Structure 1
Amino acid sequence: MRRSPYIPLLIFALLFFLLNGYAFSALSLVLPTMVLSWLWTLPVALFLAFGYSMIRLSVNGPTNLFKISAHALLIYFVSTLVFVLATVLTDIYRLIVAIVKYFAEGNFSYPERPLTGIYLGVLLSIFIIIAFIYGILKGKYAYRVIKHTLYFEDLPAAFDGFKLVQISDVHAGSLKNPKAVQKGIDLINKQHADLFVFTGDLVNNKAEEIKPYIQHFSKIKAPFGQFSVLGNHDYGDYIKWESDFIKQQNLQQLKNYHAEIGFRLLLDEHVTLEKDGQKLALVGIENWGLGFGERGDLNKALQGTTPKEFKILLSHDPSHWEAQVKNHSSKIQLTLAGHTHGMQFGFEAFGLKWSPVQFRYKHWAGIKQENRRILNVNRGFGFIGFSGRVGIWPEITLIELKKR
C-alpha cells in the first residue's frame, strides 16, 4: 500500500516555514518591510509547486514540474539553512554576553543583533547557491581520478605493481550528456590499468536505460578483462511492474547488456586471474546491503578458493564489508564497493571530509583498513535523485597493488 504524502508534506511544511520565519526575522534588520513581503512569495511558491507535484507523483510520475521544483526547493532550503546557522551563531554570542552581564551587573538584557552575522549568512547563502548551480550544470560530469597505492604482505609477487580501475553507480537513466560521459570513459582508458571492475547500479530501474550508452561503455578495455556486479537499483525494485515475470525479464535483459558491453558479470562466483604462473581470485556477489536487499551469497562465491588465497571482492554496498567481509574466516584482502555516492553533496578539502551520508554509513568514501583487510568505496560515476554533485565529484578509482 502506497503511503500518503500528506503527513510528510505537513511535517516538512512546519519545519520549512519555521526556518524561513527565523531567517526573515533576521533579514528584517537590513531589508525594508515591502521587500520582505515580496521575498516571502519565493518559499511559498516553491513549496506549493513541489507539494502539488509530490501529491500527483503517483498519478503522473516524476514530471518536469516535480524535478524543477524539487531541485529549486533543495537549493533554497540548503542556502536558507546555512544563513540561519550563521545567524544562530550571532544569537548564541548575544546570549553569552547577556548571561555574563547578568552575573556581573545583575541586569539581564540582550544586546542588539550584530549585522555582521547577517551579512556573513547572506554571503554564505550566495556561495551555496552558486555551488549548487555549478554542481547541476558541470559538477555531475566533472570526473576525477583518485589514485591509491595499497600494500599487502600476501600479494603474489607476480602481481606487484598490478593496476586496476574501478567505477561504480553509473545510473544510466540519469545521464543526459553522451559527450561528457565519453570524456569520463576516455579518462578510464587513459589509466592503462591491467583490470577494469564495475561495482553495480548500471541503471536506475530499467535495463533499457543503458541502451544509448552501450557503445560508449563497450570501449572500456583492460588486458585482464572487464568485470562487474549488480547493485540494488539493477533489480528494478523501486518501480511498479505489470508482473513479476516482466520484472525478471528486465533483469535478464540487463544481464545481457552487461555481456554486450563486454562486462563479465559475476553472480556469487569468482574467476581466477593468472600472471607469470601465480594467481589471485576475483570474487563478485549479487547485491548485499542492510536495508537494500541481502541477496548475495559470499560463501557460495568463495567456493573453490582457499582461506589464504589473495582475493579481491566486488560487492556493491559497503555495509556488506562491515557485516560479513572484514571478519570472514576466509581472508578477503581487498573489497571494492560503491552505492553511497557520497550523497553527491559534501566537503572534502584540507584534510576534512564531511557528507550527510556519514550518518547512514560508517565508511562512505575512500579507503578503510581494518583487521589487515582493505575496503575502497567509490563515490560513483553517475548520479540519481539530485541531478548534480556539490563537493563530492564523480570518481574513477585507480588502485595499484604493491607487495610489502
Structure 2
Amino acid sequence: MKRKINLLPFAIITILFFLLNSYVLSGIHTLSSNPIITPLFWTFIFVVTAALIYSIVRMRDNGMDLFFKIATHVFLVLFVSELIFILVLLPGDAYHLLLGKPRNIYWVEFALALFIFSILIFVYGIIRGKYAYRIIKHTLFFDDLPENFDGFTITQISDVHAGSFQSPRSVQKGINLIKAQKSDLFVFTGDLVNNKAEEITPWIGHFSQIKAPYGQFSVLGNHDYGDYIKWESEALKRANLQQLKTYHAELGFRLLLDEHVELYKHGEKIILAGVENWGLGFGERGDLQKALTGVDPNDFKVLLSHDPTHWDSEVKKLPSKVHLTLSGHTHGMQFGIEAFGIKWSPVKYRYAHWAGIASENGRFLNINRGFGFLGFSGRVGIWPEITVIELKKTRN
C-alpha cells in the first residue's frame, strides 16, 4: 500500500510562487503592453510549477532521475532570478509610490537586466562552474611547530560526492591540479559518495593517482554512512559502509577511524588524527578522546573532522591542544559571493564558520568548500576548492 502524499505544502508553495510571478509580470508590463505576453508568461509558469510538483510526487518510485533534476533546476534558477528581480524592483516601487509618481521604466530595465544576468550565471554554474577548481593557499604560523616541519605542506580536498560527477575529463583536471601542488601530505575530509559505495568505482582510477611523500589520509563524512536512503536491511547498509572503507584503501587513502598516526621528519614528529563523522544534527559518531589516546598533550596535532561544528563544540575547548583541524561539509552551499571584499553565502545562517580559516586561542580550523557538488548540480560564486596549507614556525 502506497503512503499518501500530503499535497498541502505543494499548494502553499504554488500559491506563493504565483503571487511572486504576478508582481514579476507587472514589471514586464511596464516595458511592454503586448497582449500575448500574459498568456505566454502564465503558460510557462504553469508548466514549470507542474513539472516540479510531478517530479516530487514521482520521486518515491523513480528516485532523483533526469526528469527530477531538470524540473528542480529550472524551478530553482527561475525562482532565485525572479527573487533578485523583485528585491531590486520593490524598493524602487516603494520610493516612487511615496513620491506619488508612476513606476520608473529605467529602474525596471535595471531589475530585468539583473534577472537575465542571474539566469546566465546560474547556467554557467551548472555547465562550467561545478568543475571550476581553484587552489586556495594558507600559511599558518605556530610557536610550537617542530623545527623540521617548518614549511611542511598539506593538500586538502573534501566532499567529493562522486555520485554527482558526469565528466571524467573535468574531474581529471581537478586531479591534475592536486598532483601539481606536490605537497608533503594529502588529506581528504569526508563525503566520498552521496549514498552508496558503488558511486566511487568509476572514479577510482582518477583519485588513486594522488600521491604524497608522507601519505594520503582520509575520514568519513555524514553521507558516507548511507543514512539518507532506504535500505532493504541494516545488513546491506553495514555492508555498503564496509565496501566504502575498502574503496578508500583502493584509492590509496589510509582511513582514520577515531585513531591517529605519527608522521616523522628527521627525528621529529607531528600527530595526524582522524575521527568518524561528528556534527550537530548530522550524527555525533566520532570519538576524539579515542583518536588521541596515547598522544602526548605537548605534541603538535592536526585533526581531520568532516563537520566544522565539531571544532566549535569540542575540539577548540579540548585541554590537549589540537593545533589545526581540517573540515568540509558546508560546500559554502555552492552559492554565494566571494569577491570585492564580500564573503557571503546563505549557509552563514546555519554555520558560524562556513569556509576558509577560523582561529581561536592559537587553534586553527580550515573549512574546505568542497571538491564536488550535491543537490544543485552546479556552483555559483563558491567554486570547488583544493586547499594547500603550509605550516610555518613562528620566528621571534
> Shorter-chain TM-score: which interval?
over 0.9
Q: What aligned pairs does 1:211-222 form with structure 2 within 5 A after superposition?
A: 211-222=201-212
Shift of 1:3: 8.7
Residue 119 of structure 1 aligns to a residue whose secondary structure is helix
Q: What aligned pairs does 1:246-285 form with structure 2 within 5 A after superposition?
A: 246-285=236-275
Mapped to 1, the partners of 2:327 and 2:9 lie a distance apart of 32
Give the aligned partner of residue 88 of structure 2.
Answer: 86
Contact 1:6 1:55 in 2 (8 A): no
Residue 379 of structure 1 aligns to a residue whose secondary structure is coil
Give the aligned partner of residue 179 of structure 2.
Answer: 189
Mapped to 1, the partners of 2:77 and 2:128 lie a distance apart of 16
Shift of 1:5: 4.9
Give the aligned partner of residue 64 of structure 2.
Answer: 62
Mapped to 2, the partners of 1:359 and 1:321 lie a distance apart of 17
Mapped to 1, the partners of 2:255 and 2:330 lie a distance apart of 21
Give the aligned partner of residue 388 of structure 1.
Answer: 378
Match of 2:290 among 293, 300, 303: 300
How many residues matched?
392
Contact 1:50 1:65 in 2 (8 A): no
Q: 1:5 and 1:182, CA in 2 relative to 1: closer, same or farther beyond 3 A?
A: farther
Mapped to 2, the partners of 1:329 and 1:9 lie a distance apart of 50
Residue 381 of structure 1 aligns to a residue whose secondary structure is coil
Match of 1:49 among 48, 51, 60: 51
* More divergent stretch after superposition (27-36 vs 176-185): 27-36
**What letter matches 2:51 in structure 1?**
A
TM-score by length of 1: 0.95
Shift of 1:22: 1.4
Q: What aligned pairs does 1:5-404 form with structure 2 within 5 A after superposition?
A: 5-32=6-33, 33-95=35-97, 97-98=98-99, 110-404=100-394
Shift of 1:2: 7.4
What are the Cα deviations for residues 94-145 of structure 1, in whole angstroms up to 9, with x where unaligned? Answer: 24x43xxxxxxxxxxx211111221111100111111011111111111100
Mapped to 2, the partners of 1:305 and 1:2 lie a distance apart of 52
What are the Cα deviations for residues 53-73 of structure 1, in whole angstroms up to 9, with x where unaligned? Answer: 101111221122211010000
**What letter matches 2:279 in structure 1?**
G
Mapped to 2, the partners of 1:216 and 1:5 lie a distance apart of 43
**What letter matches 1:68 in structure 2?**
I
Residue 38 of structure 1 aligns to a residue whose secondary structure is helix
Q: 1:165 and 1:25, CA in 2 relative to 1: closer, same or farther beyond 3 A?
A: same
Extract unaligned runs of 5+ from structure 1: 99-109
Q: 1:163 and 1:182, CA in 2 relative to 1: closer, same or farther beyond 3 A?
A: same
Mapped to 2, the partners of 1:281 and 1:242 lie a distance apart of 40
Mapped to 2, the partners of 1:14 and 1:323 lie a distance apart of 40
**What letter matches 1:6 in structure 2?**
L
Contact 1:185 1:216 in 2 (8 A): yes
Residue 140 of structure 2 aligns to a residue whose secondary structure is strand
Residue 40 of structure 1 aligns to a residue whose secondary structure is helix
**What letter matches 1:270 in structure 2?**
H
Mapped to 2, the partners of 1:214 and 1:277 lie a distance apart of 34
Contact 1:5 1:55 in 2 (8 A): no
Shift of 1:14: 2.3
Residue 242 of structure 1 aligns to a residue whose secondary structure is coil
Shift of 1:42: 1.4
* More divergent stretch after superposition (8-17 vs 342-351): 8-17
Contact 1:50 1:66 in 2 (8 A): yes
Mapped to 1, the partners of 2:116 and 2:259 lie a distance apart of 50
Mapped to 2, the partners of 1:140 and 1:342 lie a distance apart of 12
**What letter matches 2:18 in structure 1?**
F
Q: 1:188 and 1:3, CA in 2 relative to 1: closer, same or farther beyond 3 A?
A: farther
